[in-house]
Structure 1
């Protein structure tokens, strides 16, 4: 009898659950709720990335798969690092400046510090071991150490953004959406777009999440721009991007292994 073919499972939101957007949870919107919701959606992409690594690492056997998988893991951790750098060097200081306050998002910065050591260890381990030497059990063991503080932060930051609305007054309005847009654009380079950004866009499920209310809304790409980012760009380093959780249309897909 022929050997049975192992069919990879469909991605599931485990071990980390997705977080709701403030717009969906509160049933209302203002600029701070919208920006906080965009933050929640971004954090869900990081969560799905975490889950894809956690789910697929134990099933990878071939050396060629391991090489692509290590590159995928490194893209995921670099994406998070860039996101937090953008917050600490651009977003948070400009929120303080607009509000005429200091340290409004210091809580989030301290949360970053709580799991950064774990992310650094995760990256160093992969760089040191490479495709031929990494152990799935050891990798997941490292992830288990920083999993809880990372998740606490990903859940806590969107409500903290919502709470900033109290600093925006008639006399001193804060354009939170404009601040975030300008800050984010400063961190996008060609290298980042081709080597890292697909791990973000292709872990963004929008068809079913919260009834599809974000499909075609966030990420704010439409038509040709969306096709380029979700279909053309991932052709570069396509081997690593097969480990993502979603297809180019924002639907959960079958995992690579």
Structure 2
């Protein structure tokens, strides 16, 4: 199996992104379902990348890899915070979101352990160990990936159509505000370098100037992190593992 296909197929399985019918391109129920599927796949690809890369990181690249791992965790935290303060409260008026919240709690402790270990290695309190990194990653990623798949079912169009339009509008406005709080120098380059533009070129639905800035300016500040991403800032496939093995 090639490195690029591994990032797409495992160890953590991607979500099948739905196609929005042309006549429903402006419907929140369809767009939100599609958008969240793409976001979730970026997170899953990040976990796949850490898993595949962890045993192969060269000493000179360890600091960059640790920064990449922390960015993954920060992106997951930001995504879930947005859901908990904006999405779940809006949908809970008509839908049961309790299971989603329970799942968030189920992997939080293990994710904290992974984050603590990475930060301890950064602080020279621990030595880097690729297998330990994998073990700590898998402890939270198994339930997290299951949650990412399960959650998509709870926000499928047929579910969202049960929600009042005013609540959906408020949810989308809240998410738009939340997205503006994302770091231009970590979160945005992370997302862009973990999305398959060859398959879905129209995502994310961001203004062209912002996309240009993220690709050409933001990307450069921590460009050493993004060598571990599946794609570079031009949307070309890359593989750190294949590079160091060459």
TM-score class, shorter = 0.7 to 0.9
Question: What residue is the counterpart of 2:81 in the other structure?
Answer: 85
Question: How many Å apart are 1:179 and its aligned residue?
Answer: 2.1
RMSD, aligned α-carbons: 2.6
Rounded to whole Å, the distance in 2 between the matches of 1:22 and 1:195 is 27
Question: What residue is the counterpart of 2:186 in the other structure?
Answer: 195
The answer to whether the 8 A contact 1:33-1:161 is kept is no
Question: What residue is the counterpart of 2:119 in the other structure?
Answer: 127
Cα offsets for 1:209-246 (capped at 9, x unmatched)? xxx3x21x210135332121122211011111221111
TM-score, scaled relative to structure 2: 0.84
Rounded to whole Å, the distance in 1 between the matches of 2:147 and 2:83 is 13
Rounded to whole Å, the distance in 1 between the matches of 2:97 and 2:216 is 35
Counterpart of 1:165 (choices 160, 164, 181) is 160
Structure possessing the higher radius of gyration over alpha carbons: 1
Cα offsets for 1:47-99 (capped at 9, x unmatched)? 1111111111111122x300000000000001001110111012221334xxx
Distance 1:189 1:27, change over 3 A: closer
The answer to whether the 8 A contact 1:69-1:243 is kept is yes
Gaps of at least 5 residues in structure 1 are 1-7
TM-score, scaled relative to structure 1: 0.80
Aligned length: 234
Counterpart of 1:223 (choices 190, 208, 213) is 208
Rounded to whole Å, the distance in 2 between the matches of 1:121 and 1:28 is 46
- SS at structure 1 position matched to 2:42: helix
The answer to whether the 8 A contact 2:90-2:167 is kept is no
Question: What residue is the counterpart of 1:241 in the other structure?
Answer: 226
Rounded to whole Å, the distance in 2 between the matches of 1:10 and 1:254 is 7
Rounded to whole Å, the distance in 2 between the matches of 1:45 and 1:227 is 19
- SS at structure 2 position matched to 1:186: helix
The answer to whether the 8 A contact 1:75-1:199 is kept is yes
Higher-RCO chain (CA-CA 8 Å, sequence separation at least 6): 1
